[in-house]
Amino acid sequence: MKAEDNQQNLILDDAVMEIANQLRLTKEADFEPILEIIGDEVEVDSIFIFNFMVKYKQIDEWTAMDYQPLFKDLSQAKIEELGWKFRKLVQDEEYIINNSSQLSKELIEEQVIIQSLDVSALVLVPIFDAEERLVGIIGAAKRQTPKFWSESELKLFNITAEMLGNHYELYKTEVEKRKLFNTIETAAVVLDSSWQIIAANDEFKKLSGYTEELPEDVEMMDFIHQDDVDKVRGYLQQKMNSSNLLLSEEEVRFITKDQRTKHVSISAGLIPETTEIIVSLLDITEKKEIKDEFRKNAELLYSSFEKANIGMTIINLDKEFIKANDAFCNMLGYSKEQMLQKTFIDITHPNDRERSINLWNQLIDGGERTVEFEKRYLHQDGYIVWADINLTLVRDENDDPLYFISQIENITEEKKTKQKLEYSHKQLEKTFNSMVDTLGSVISLRDPYTAGHQQRVAELAVEIGREMNLHSDMIEGIKVAGILHDIGKIKVPAEILSRPGEITDEEFQLIQQHCRHGYDILQEVEFDWPIAEVALQHHERIDGSGYPQGLSGEDILLEAKILAVADVVEAMSSHRPYRPSLGIDAAINEIKKNKGLKYNSRVVDACLNVLENNRQILEKAN
């Protein structure tokens, strides 16, 4: 018997050693290999572990070859319920049933559990952590036959439970360490002395392009650009040989899973009392690209600044020039040394200084970033230099002002040319107006009544155009047409135009021809407006009852519709050789009565508003 016990103890020792080695290799809470070891040594049909660290939801089970797992068909809710019941059974010590058929009827709870599992023999051993908290249960079952649990078998279960308790503690510590490791906001890895990665946080996985765990046996150098490998190795070796925990930095190129190159700043330090190094990697790709772009832009800006054919300056917040290119200095006749001793106020024309300072302050006070304006500088020799200025305020990342950049284009010659053109335009305009007045006054040589009539019609038509909000250019054309609209009467016999009393039908037909005569005269003159056409149409009516063409509606120019109303109102309210004035009220009644019939409604409304607000425009004429 003693020899048999010794043999059992040797088997037990071998199993314990094998389980201990397996636990050293098990990083996660996966215990099926341990259960297989026990299954080889103990004659049972099922061995299982309930893991309470995940709230009864995890079961690892080993089953003999001829049997299905006990817990295969249990729902998640049933598993949680069974875990809770097992926990009540074991309480603080092992729970053993050798023959379920011999259970006392008083053990109702045990009977329910055993019957639900359909087993004959059962052993449950509690698993405690370092703080004596129940964290799991290891158990075994015999299905169809009773079983007496030997002392060595129970010892194996108890030793295994103790080792699992220790492993739970290590696993819990590992989980906490991993959680803490994953709270690091930058990518981080832990390396062994051969630079193999033994831990990587989630940020490192993101950086490297892995969505799941990293491949096994992956090394740090697998992620480093081949031209930077020696530099990184040297850097890590220096950290391995140093007890200094100061994490100095090194910039290197990092290769992702999909072979993209990123720029990272790595810092590393030796973990105390280990041969492991923790390495932090900060992705500076975007920052480096911005920095490189800024450097390129700075070089380009400096080159553009110096070689620009327009003036460029940089001005500090005290209004002093801190940089000025040759084009600007030459524009005002100063050397660079002289210019850099001045403020922009010093060289600004006195009449433009206040406005320049106001625009400067407007940018500083948070308005626009850029303003464009014209101003006058004073050349060193005293004469004025006109400039077109583009002034931009540069701010820092906190939006605080840093300095101003200005672009200055010399527009002195353009200004002189513009002034000459303006003068020429005024002279041409004066000449044109004189010509129009001369043409308009030609008729007075034959009919003084018509001459005054044209001027008054022009004034009233202009006011109607303004009331209708017409463009100023069209109103100017209406004015010219009003002055000249009856010029065709120069071809009508003077005795007919100025004779008192009624005129015959034949004489009226001659007078009607003045529209056509006016058109023939005016079409030979080059106007910016359809003056000849307006003169031809000013006696047309929108219902087609006018002359000389009998036009209607949209076939009549708007300018002609306006002159038609102004002509009727002025003619009826003025004295004529063949009749006395009919009065303004009669004229108003005429256009009201025929509004929308003979005369355009919009024009009539505008005319009525003008007369209501400015009746003296006709009273003065009479």
| Residues paired with residue 270 on neighbouring β-strands, in sequence order | 277
> Which range has the top average pLDDT, 18-22, 596-600, 611-615?
596-600
Strands (E) located in 121-275: 121-128, 134-142, 187-191, 197-200, 249-255, 261-270
Amino acid at 53: M
| 333 backbone φψ class: left, alpha, beta (φ>0; ψ -120 to 50) | left
Rounded to two decimals, the pTM is: 0.37
Query: Token pair of 332, please?
Result: 């005002």
pLDDT for the residue numbered 6: 59
- Does pLDDT of 565 surpass 70? yes
Confidence label for 501 from pLDDT (cuts 50, 70 and 90): low
Average pLDDT over residues 320-331: 90
Quick one: 289 exposed, middle or buried, by C-beta within 10 A (0-12, 13-18, 19+)? exposed
CATH topology agreement for domains 2-179 and 308-410? yes
Half-sphere exposure of 344 (CA within 13 A, CB side): 31
Which residues have C-beta within 8 Å of that of residue 314, sequence separation ≥ 6? 321, 322, 323, 324, 403, 404, 405
Q: Coil, strand or helix: which one is 339? A: helix
Residue 286 is given by DSSP the state H
Dist CA 574 CA 582 (whole Å): 7
Dist CA 403 CA 308 (whole Å): 20
Half-sphere exposure of 272 (CA within 13 A, CB side): 3
What's the 3-state SS for 342-365? CECCCCECHHHHHHHHHHHHHHHC
Tens of pLDDT, residues 275-316: 888 888 888 888 877 767 766 665 666 666 777 788 888 899
- Sequence spans of domains, the chain: 2-179, 184-288, 308-410, 422-619
Q: What are phi and psi of 223, to 5 degrees?
A: -105, 0
Which residues have C-beta within 8 Å of that of residue 574, sequence separation ≥ 6? 449, 452, 453, 456, 581, 618, 621, 622
For the domain made up of 184-288, give the CATH fold: Beta-Lactamase (3.30.450)
Q: What are phi and psi of 303, to 5 degrees?
A: -65, -45
- Does pLDDT of 444 surpass 60? no
For the domain made up of 422-619, give the CATH fold: Hypothetical protein af1432 (1.10.3210)
Displacement of CA 327 from its chain's centroid (Å): 38
- Does pLDDT of 173 surpass 70? no
Q: Coil, strand or helix: which one is 169? A: helix
- Does pLDDT of 55 surpass 70? no
Nearest to 391 by CA among 353, 413, 362: 362
Dist CA 307 CA 317 (whole Å): 25
| 553 backbone φψ class: left, alpha, beta (φ>0; ψ -120 to 50) | left
pLDDT for the residue numbered 172: 65
pLDDT for the residue numbered 462: 93
Query: Token pair of 223, please?
Result: 């992620």
Q: What are phi and psi of 571, to 5 degrees?
A: -65, -45
74 or 41, greater pLDDT = 41
Asked whether the beta carbons of 529 and 607 are under 8 A apart, the reply is no
Dist CA 591 CA 315 (whole Å): 67
- Does pLDDT of 123 surpass 70? yes
Asked whether the beta carbons of 328 and 336 are under 8 A apart, the reply is no
pLDDT for the residue numbered 370: 87
If one counts every other C-beta atom within 10 angstroms of the C-beta of residue 542, the result is: 22
Pick the CATH number of 2-179 from 3.40.1360.10, 3.40.50.300, 3.30.450.40, 3.20.20.80: 3.30.450.40
Asked whether the beta carbons of 137 and 94 are under 8 A apart, the reply is no
Tens of pLDDT, residues 134-146: 888 888 988 888 8
For the domain made up of 308-410, give the CATH fold: Beta-Lactamase (3.30.450)
CA angle at residue 599 from 595 to 600, to 5 degrees? Answer: 90
Confidence label for 329 from pLDDT (cuts 50, 70 and 90): very high
Q: Coil, strand or helix: which one is 439? A: helix
Pairing of strands 95-97, 121-128: antiparallel
